[in-house]
Amino acid sequence: MTKHAAVDRELEQLLQTGTELIAALNGDDKQKKGMFVLDYQPWYTQAVRVVEILIPDRVSEFRGYYEINPKRKQLDYGSYVIQDYCKSIRPAGFEFSNFDSASRATTCLINQLAILRSVKSRSASVIANLQATILADVRDLELETAQELQKTSLRAAGALAGVVLERHLQQTCDTHKLTFRKQKPTLSDYSESLKQANVIDVAAWRKLSYLADIRNICCHSKGDDPTGEQVKELIDGVNWAIKTIV
């Protein structure tokens, strides 16, 4: 199951459970209403975490339908939240004699479900952005490691930088849906395919070819050893590639 499918499945379950909670709130069965408090808490814990991860810009709004505002000066229709219902709190006074706690809590829960539905519509793009961010962070860390390795082994530093470059070009080709006949394409294959697809220009292709040559020197024990300047050029070039070739 893909990450997108797994997230969609979890969202569907949350939406289904939320719908069942609304039914419990508005049913005639007092036992079901009592179970609402027990069932809502784990649902909220899971749902708010999903919102935090996928659409953090809406999390304060989502929380606001459940959590009591610590700055609240009075309890009325506008400030009543689900946490009030769970604590059996309701506004006092003659003007609130017909106040329907379940109805107000239902409104809050419906708004929370609406936010979750908006997560579903954006989940694919959000997951893609998260994956891209994580990959970028990993590549930055690997390049930092390559820089440190220059102090002890130029070959190891260059080999690691070459791996980062190859992975990035492979990911870029996958993004542009470029395919290969070879089971194990090389750096040259990736850069050539990207040039043919007009993802990179000739100047970038030439630069990648130069970086691939340095990488080969680092990875092959026979022949000349790589120089410190060459390895630095490779690491700097890989950093350029992962920032500009997308």
With bands split at pLDDT 50, 70 and 90, how would you rate the model's confidence at 84?
Answer: very high
* Contact between residue 66 and residue 84 where contact means Cβ atoms under 8 Å apart: no
- Whether residue 163 is predicted with pLDDT greater than 80 in this model: the reply is yes
Q: Please say whether the beta carbons of 84 and 75 come within 8 A.
A: yes
pLDDT tens digits, 17-52: 999 999 888 876 666 666 788 889 999 999 998 888
The single residue listed with the structure tokens 């309701």 is 90
DSSP 8-state secondary structure symbol assigned to residue 96? G
Tens-place pLDDT, residues 213-234? 999 898 876 777 899 999 999 9
